[in-house]
């Protein structure tokens, strides 16, 4: 039980840090995927116990989503410019 709590806190912090790196368009794509994977894992394994790093999960998921959108936007701009 205590080991599960440690894993949840570690994944919460990993979600945050990978989400921050995931903001970088292109380079951060794998980090954004890892952050969103951790976010989904934590949503599925949410317990009524208090997670001191819970806010980091939300910030990490938001940063990862923003990074994915920036990557898609950059890819669209490059595709449009190449096709001209």
User: Tell me, what's the pLDDT at 5?
Assistant: 86
Task: Kindly report the pTM of this predicted structure.
Answer: 0.87
- What is the pLDDT tens value at each position of the chain, 84 positions in all? 566 888 999 999 999 999 999 999 889 999 999 999 999 999 998 878 888 888 999 999 999 999 999 999 999 999 999 998
Cβ atoms of residues 63 and 17 within 8 Å: no
């Amino acid at each position: 039980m205590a080991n599960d709590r440690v894993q949840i806190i570690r994944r919460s912090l990993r979600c945050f840090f990978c989400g921050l790196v995931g903001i970088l368009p292109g380079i951060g794509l794998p980090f954004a995927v890892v952050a969103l994977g951790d976010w989904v894992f934590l949503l599925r394994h949410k317990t009524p116990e208090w997670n001191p790093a819970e806010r980091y999960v939300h910030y990490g998921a938001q940063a990862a989503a923003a990074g994915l959108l920036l990557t898609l936007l950059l890819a669209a701009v490059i595709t449009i410019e190449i096709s001209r």
